[in-house]
Structure 1
């Protein structure tokens, strides 16, 4: 494909593997920075966010069928890429492999590749670095899981079971008291995740209690810079665990953040991450932070946009600046606006109605963005994970006064409780879950 008229090609080609979700922000940013964007997509996967792909943003597009790596490497070598980065979860493994061959100076440690996309190997690598982790077992056999529960003296304790390869709380199962562990493990093994890939291994974990945080970083030359620190509010229902209710971007110097940042940077080192964006989730317990997972890519759902609203910067812009020659990327951020994202959810599957009531959210003093992705008459499933929530929509509040954001948050909940489905269009945090 010929360069577009007036395009500045002097800085070379940047390859974005699976440019879905927040990954669709990369090509326009790289183009603005003087780079030529190239997309690599994986054939045969049913990406739940496929509608976010915009191939018109790219000068080249390579569809990879998952076979021999030689053909895509050959085509990309002819473009002489300066960097290869993943756009979303499904692009992490392939971007790692391509970068190791084509851009080794901007590649994460090849020998730790599996630890960056396989949750079992991830926990093992972080534990090997002498960082505390949640007690976990990676297995493809329910008998092994039952034996491990006995050996670890976890009988009668709450457990969590999840696929070793998943994102957005996809297929995460809560097992109260461990009573249905056999059925849960058996049910997941052999099923498929949101991307259409078979689940052949699961991670069985002790359920730990605390407050969940996420840290978004951009790493270069082995240095990790913090873009934002987010506190999640998640709730559970009878059937689902860790449903997203809201997330708030915190001040960099908020109490307790130093311990979180130190732990996250140690985890990134343990996984061999030296270049690129990462989104790390930790549970802060009474004993300190414990790793939930590291995602060696941008945070999904357009979060870099929310980060820029709050701080004036994000991982996308930092990546572009670094590749353009900036070596003074700050480690940290100023919180310019108190920013809160509120996720919509429904308690039961069915047809939605009364969504016009949500229009009142726009009139709130701190409302910066309202997105409703469904309309009256649409059938929606019961909200079970982040993908379901994103299909419904969200509200973003931002204001210089934290009290205004808190007041408007309560009002969003009140408004949304009267729309959508019986029980409302949000999860009421005061009820501790969905009915």
Structure 2
């Protein structure tokens, strides 16, 4: 299933003052004015990291990669370079964990060629991208907003400051403070590091032993997977109960458009790993409106004015509550689900926004669906939502992840012939042999099955059924079905 993207305008917004823009007239005869040159600062290896490079090329643009080490992006198969490396016009090796070095390299690059936008798919470089965009006077979110948005405890404080309903929370760098905070909040509670992603080290805590494990696990981790120093702070939150969804949105010039709402399933406690998603979530119009409004209020609370966002919301008995705000596109192949159902590709939106363009949403945008201005000057305005994407659009797409209930080496997977034979399977991936471990974060995924239901909301059920019918064969001779969410 696919759709044709609307014709793109060849006119890009001028952002005067950037070193690249100051030479645009002089270089006009040397550049194709329909081609933009993007600066990509690192990338994820999988999912968005595999998909964005060919999308940039398909849109007629090019990018220059800033990376601290090209070896971070190994070949995806023998003789097949990683797309991030393969599709780059140029690779600049620079310590991307050092803002001063990265800014110096960007300034030097902009002194030689026109740079039209800066982007990344990797959470750990969102603030760096904002800093470079500010330096080069290119489109982007304010750097201080991106620094706040990527620190979970600062987001909680901002929600409190805006007067939004918020679970009780506390942050601790000391074990005694953690114990005291947990006693105030009560158990069960959710504990997590303030500055990691992909569900890493998110735990449901029921007793002091679990709290101690969570605290010392976070306190002892000095760097993330990209070598950046961690704050080693434990965030403890009152546990929210209800249905968890995520709001996919784009914000341009302070106007937020809701792309849609995605449902999700989680593994059983103590780890809370996302096991699958379906787009769109099937919600009543009233609940969908409440969730959309609350998500925009939350973006307003952190000062978010530019970019894609993936806002995780718990629909509780007392109304919507924020789980986390992610100032980037949804991961876990949510961008594929959105594209299959709406014809709108979030990664194309990412490119548009980096170039200072409002993404083309065609007639799918229903500006009258919800149009309101938050109280106060500079309030966030909700421009609308993608028509039908939350409640009325026929069809659904879902992804379910293959995870193992035990550690070990999976030699092969049986039952995949059913995946090839089922017309509702859009795509599946199960590379073997593979090292499996019980899920503690999204790195436990062995593969995925992505399904579509052109006429209804059955995509999730079918994806779960197909994954449940698979069998994991371990090198030690044991055979087991994949882990299925409760």
Give the TM-score normalised by structure 1.
0.85
What secondary structure, in the 3-state scheme, does the structure 2 residue paired with 1:81 have? coil
- Partners of 2:303 and 2:332 lie apart in 1 by 25
Check conservation: 1:9, 1:36, Cα contact below 8 A. Answer: no
Match of 2:191 in 1: 161
Q: CA deviation at 1:394?
A: 0.5
1:98 is matched with which residue? 132
Deviation of 1:30 (Å) = 3.0
Q: Residues of 1 paired with 2:300 and 2:65: CA distance?
A: 28
Alpha carbons of structure 1 residues 215 and 129: separation in structure 2 relative to 1, 3 Å:
same
Structure 1 residue 197, shift from structure 2 partner? 4.2
Partners of 2:233 and 2:71 in 1: CA distance: 19
CA distance in 2, matches of 1:328, 1:250: 20
2:444 matched to 1:388? yes
Structure-2 separation of matches of 1:287 and 1:46: 45
* 2:391 matches 1:358: no
Deviation readout 1:260-290 (Å, 9 max, x if unpaired):
1111112222222222222111222111222
Conservation of the 8 A alpha-carbon contact between 1:39 and 1:58: yes
- Identify the residue that residue 38 of structure 1 maps to in structure 2: 64
| 2:117 aligned counterpart, secondary structure | strand
2:274 is aligned with 1:244: yes
Contact 2:201 2:214 in 1 (8 A): no
SS in 1 for 2:154: helix
Match of 1:185? 215
CA contact (8 A) 2:437 2:444 kept: yes
Q: Distance in 2 between matches of 1:319 and 1:373?
A: 29
Aligned to 1:233: 265
The answer for the alignment partner of 1:15 in structure 2 is 39
Does the 8 Å CA contact 1:48/1:194 hold for their aligned counterparts?
no
2:94 matched residue in structure 1: 64
Asked if the contact 2:335/2:347 (under 8 Å) is kept, the reply is: yes
Match of 2:398 among 327, 333, 340: 340
**8 Å contact from structure 2 (residues 399, 451) kept in 1:** yes
Question: What SS class does the counterpart of residue 269 from structure 1 fall into?
Answer: helix
Deviation at 1:294, TM superposition (A): 1.6
1:88 maps to 122
> C-alpha separation between the residues in 1 aligned to 2:407 and 2:253?
48
2-side partners of 1:232 and 1:253: how far apart? 13
Judged with a 3 Å threshold, the aligned counterparts in structure 2 of structure 1 residues 113 and 406 are, in CA distance, closer, same or farther, namely closer
SS at match of 2:116: strand
Structure 1 contact 365–408 (Cα < 8 Å) conserved: no
Q: Is 1:306 aligned to residue 337 of structure 2?
A: yes
How does 1:27-426 map onto structure 2 within 5 Å? 27-43=53-69, 54-65=84-95, 66-67=97-98, 68-69=100-101, 70-78=103-111, 79-104=113-138, 106-150=139-183, 152=184, 154-155=185-186, 157-191=187-221, 192-199=223-230, 200-237=232-269, 240-250=270-280, 254-255=284-285, 256-321=287-352, 323=355, 329=361, 330=365, 331-334=385-388, 335-375=393-433, 378-389=434-445, 392-402=446-456, 405=459, 408-409=462-463, 411-416=465-470, 418-420=471-473, 424-426=480-482
Tell me, yes or no, if the aligned pair for 1:216 and 1:315 is still in contact at 8 Å: no
Report the Cα distance in structure 1 between the residues aligned to 2:278 and 2:181, rounded to whole angstroms: 37
Matched residues in 2 for 1:167 and 1:190: separation? 17
d(CA) in 2 for partners of 1:147, 1:248 = 39
Structure 1: distance between partners of 2:359 and 2:239: 41
SS at match of 2:386: coil
User: Can you give the 5+ residue segments of structure 2 that lack an aligned partner in the other structure?
Assistant: 1-29, 366-384
How far apart are 1:220 and its partner, in Å? 1.2
Cα shift at 1:47: 8.5
Distance 1:382 1:11, change over 3 A: same
**What is the CA deviation profile of residues 291-329 of structure 1, one whole-angstrom value per residue up to 9, with x for unaligned ones?**
121221222244322221121112222344564855754
Aligned residues of 1:9 and 1:34 also touching (Cα < 8 A): no
- Greater Cα offset, 268-277 or 196-205: 196-205
Q: Are the counterparts in 1 of residues 424 and 452 from structure 2 also a CA contact under 8 Å?
A: yes
Check conservation: 1:245, 1:426, Cα contact below 8 A. Answer: no
RMSD between aligned alpha carbons? 3.1
Conserved? CA contact 2:244–2:315, under 8 Å: yes
